[in-house]
Structure 1
Amino acid sequence: RPHVKAAERFHRWHSHFGVMRDMQNASTLPARARRARFDTIIQSVEPKTRETYSAGLARFHEFCDAQRVPEEKRMPASDFLLSAFVAHHAGRVGKSCVDNWLAGLQLWHNLHDAPWLGNRALTAAAKGVHKLAPASSSRARRAPVTVEHMRRLGEHLDLADSFDAAVYAAAAVAFRGCCRLGELVVLSAATYDATRHVGRGCVIERGTSVSGVHFRRVRLPWSKTSGAAGADVILSASRDGVCPVTALDNHLAVNSGAPLDVPLFAWKDRHGSWCPLTRSWLLKRCSAVWSACGMATVHGHSFRIGGATDLLLRGVQPAVVAVQGRWKSRAFLQYWRNVESVIPDFIDRA
């Protein structure tokens, strides 16, 4: 197991069982087919998630090394060994941490055609870890971006400026569209991928609903829940001072002339070059405004959390909120904030 970056562990770390199983499978399939299988399975997990999962491999082998567990016993890992590994960390980590570690180990087994033997003992140990989890293992709930945050942003940014227009548009779309920032902006110029990030050449439908509300439908080429099938973000005009339709139209006008092969929220620098709006630039500009206004600084996912919470506070049915945020399950309920205001209103209208 060479010392490599976390993202490379699944590719570079091997086991006695994995090597022997690959030799056995060589009598069934050629190397090219076996490699295609490996590459396809590993693509089932997003790169960032693989980095998180890879911690499971590291922690598992650290445990096995400390306990002098022979290499041949580590894969396939028995229910006994897996439950002992989990129990070793009881009282020090939380459930989500253990779940990620186990998901990483299961992926590692799948990649090397090893049976997964985790069973009743592992399930019981995982439940025990959850009950014994220290308070420090629970991350404080992220505060949401609010309508007031967005109003202050619109008031203090220069919406005739190329950069500020892009920032406000991206923020308004993320908030009103209940978007993940990763669906709208990039981590860096080098990470822009037209097949995964919304670009200037994307489909933007302009329309008016039967009740006269102007809207924009922005087509995403990829989303976390639908993958390459893409998804639609519906932006409805609003008269509360935070209108995503106006913000997006303003950005497209101020930054007109941008080539179709740049990110949707690209802006022009003083040298005339088109720059992608990165996540860090967006958050830094927003935080500067909010700090100057004496408001709490928020995180990237706070836009999605705040957008969902705002819709609920306005009386929008939870089912509609789920569709707007493109949630495939009731998982979006974890994003509710200000429930003390949301629930009484829904009960009162029942």
Structure 2
Amino acid sequence: MDNIETSISNLRRPRPDAAAGSEQHANIQQENNQLYQDRNIQEFTLETAMTNMSHRSSVENDLFVRGRYGFDSDTLPFVETISPQLRKSIIEDGQIQTPSTNGRQHSHSLPTNLQAGDDLKEHIDSLWEASISPRTAAVYKTAINLFLHFVTLCGLFVPEDKLPCIDEDILIRFVSYCDKALLLKCATIKVYLAGIRFSYLRSGATNPLANCERLQYILKGVKKQQQGTATTRLPITFDILRKICDLLRNGVFSPVTDLLLQCMCQTAFFGFMRCGEFTRDSRGFCSEGLKMNDVIFSKDHSYFSIFLSSSKTDPFRLGVYIHFFRNPVLCPVDTMTRYYKLRLSQGAVSTSPLFTDNASQAVTRERFIGFIRHLLGILGYNEKNYNGHSFRIGAATSAAAVGVEDHMIQTLGRWSSNCYTRYIKSSKNVLGNAQQLMCNYTTNHT
């Protein structure tokens, strides 16, 4: 209690007032002001302040009464605490530079051109679109539209400006609907679920697939029930390719179409190409097929190259060149040269489609597969077992059968992993020969 009363007493102690009190106090304040205005004094440092105090009389120093909270600031000498340059800027009302290493803006302050919300929203939308390929974006759009249609069929309200709130039960019923009513494969259903997740995350909602343990079991059930129902995809090996080209040389369709199909088949086979890489997709995806300027011939015409601006193994769309060389049996260079000259005679320019039908439209994937199945039927094959991927499978199988090294097959097919091994179809003769070679094992090999 004594300490508290002493503190209160110190707080209530009257302070010297220069304006209304002592004449000596007023003289000291006037002296300080005069000292500050004296142009002969360039600096007001702590040293000059102490010197100034030491020159005062003992009577004046008695005015510097030390209380609990120090001296009265009005009676103390001036001490310069800021630089002359900064004081000058303050007096002239100038712009004071933000203190930092390089005098730049704070890192958390936005540039003027990005402070508008609309500009940022457009940029964020472009980043979302760039995060996936155009083809994937088209599939995801189909997925979310199908899901919203299903939600409407279930009697749930779908707002116009945002996605509806859903739970795991809705997702399970949607998977069942895709399996039973739409007869979709399990892989396709999973892709559609990924599209739903992407759409909800982009809208700012939480991941609807998070913590859906029951849904994972439902997907496993769909996969097990669909086992054994996968479509057979047989390879178009080199011997089948040669039969197709021989048939086309003898004439099946028109001369232009026959040359077109020869060129497309040889390009697909020797380039290990996916069907969507050289045909146009008619389902609204972004694949438009190859252009005339995508084909580049070497100066001596010993080979030519095709530039793929985008592909499945090129997620960043850097582009890749596929090279085609001469061979004495079935030369893709000669076939492409004849077809390219034909396209130029038809008035094609650099941006025109490379492979076109009679209407000068890029050949679609479905039309090309229809031609191939028709030819395979003529040759006596079961055309239902072949599709657009059969050329890529056949190229890998043919290369492995003649002893092309694994790493070269991976390079030719532009595979980023060893998944190409599942495309290699080994005949019974190859398996039998392999077992015969196993019998040659001796203890000398250990």
What is the TM-score of this pair, normalised by structure 1? Answer: 0.69
C-alpha deviation, 1:176, in angstroms: 1.4
Choose the corresponding residue for 1:235, options 324, 344, 347. 324
Matched, 1:294 2:380: yes
C-alpha separation between the residues in 2 aligned to 1:129 and 1:102? 11
Alignment partner, residue 261 of structure 1: 351
C-alpha separation between the residues in 2 aligned to 1:48 and 1:54? 10
Q: Which runs of 5+ in 1 are unaligned?
A: 1-27, 209-213
- Specify the code of the residue in structure 2 equivalent to 1:41: W
- Specify the code of the residue in structure 2 equivalent to 1:38: D
RMSD in angstroms over aligned alpha carbons? 4.1
C-alpha separation between the residues in 1 aligned to 2:415 and 2:265? 20
Q: Secondary structure, in 3 states, of the residue corresponding to 1:218?
A: strand
C-alpha separation between the residues in 1 aligned to 2:191 and 2:220? 13
C-alpha deviation, 1:174, in angstroms: 0.4
Q: Secondary structure, in 3 states, of the residue corresponding to 1:157?
A: helix
C-alpha deviation, 1:168, in angstroms: 0.7
C-alpha separation between the residues in 2 aligned to 1:232 and 1:346? 36
C-alpha deviation, 1:112, in angstroms: 0.5
Matched, 1:163 2:251: no
CA shift digits 1:126-171 (9 cap, x unpaired): 2553245313784223122222331122112248933321221111
Q: Secondary structure, in 3 states, of the residue corresponding to 1:201?
A: helix
Choose the corresponding residue for 2:334, options 240, 243, 246. 246
Q: Structure 1 residues 64, 275: closer, same or farther in 2, change over 3 A?
A: closer
Matched, 1:183 2:277: yes
C-alpha deviation, 1:177, in angstroms: 0.8
Choose the corresponding residue for 2:294, options 202, 209, 215. 202
Q: Judge which range, 95-104 or 166-175, deviates more.
A: 95-104
Q: Secondary structure, in 3 states, of the residue corresponding to 2:321?
A: strand
Q: Secondary structure, in 3 states, of the residue corresponding to 2:403?
A: coil
Matched, 1:113 2:207: no
C-alpha separation between the residues in 2 aligned to 1:340 and 1:131? 33
Choose the corresponding residue for 1:316, options 383, 404, 415. 404
- Specify the code of the residue in structure 1 equivalent to 2:387: H
C-alpha separation between the residues in 2 aligned to 1:281 and 1:67? 37
Q: How does 1:52-131 map to 2 (within 5 A)?
A: 52-54=139-141, 56-57=143-144, 60=147, 80=168, 84=172, 95-116=186-207, 118-122=209-213, 125-127=215-217, 129-131=219-221
CA shift digits 1:109-130 (9 cap, x unpaired): 22202232534543x6425532
Choose the corresponding residue for 2:426, options 305, 326, 338. 338
C-alpha separation between the residues in 2 aligned to 1:105 and 1:137? 28
Choose the corresponding residue for 2:243, options 147, 152, 163. 152
C-alpha separation between the residues in 2 aligned to 1:325 and 1:82? 41
CA shift digits 1:203-244 (9 cap, x unpaired): 524389xxxxx54322222223215311111223334x4332
Q: Secondary structure, in 3 states, of the residue corresponding to 2:243?
A: helix
C-alpha deviation, 1:108, in angstroms: 0.9
Larger gyration radius, structure 1 or structure 2: 2
C-alpha deviation, 1:333, in angstroms: 3.4
C-alpha deviation, 1:64, in angstroms: 5.7
Choose the corresponding residue for 1:30, options 103, 114, 117. 117
Choose the corresponding residue for 2:391, options 274, 293, 303. 303
User: Runs of 4 or more off by more than 4 Å in structure 1?
Assistant: 58-72, 74-78, 80-94, 190-193, 339-350
C-alpha separation between the residues in 2 aligned to 1:85 and 1:192? 31
Does the 8 Å contact 1:159/1:250 carry over to 2? no
C-alpha separation between the residues in 2 aligned to 1:346 and 1:311? 17
Q: Judge which range, 296-305 or 172-181, deviates more.
A: 296-305
Q: Percent identity?
A: 19
Aligned residue pairs total 308
- Specify the code of the residue in structure 2 equivalent to 1:115: T
Alignment partner, residue 25 of structure 1: none
Q: Structure 1 residues 344, 102: closer, same or farther in 2, change over 3 A?
A: farther
Does the 8 Å contact 1:206/1:215 carry over to 2? yes
Q: Secondary structure, in 3 states, of the residue corresponding to 2:298?
A: strand
Q: Structure 1 residues 58, 200: closer, same or farther in 2, change over 3 A?
A: closer
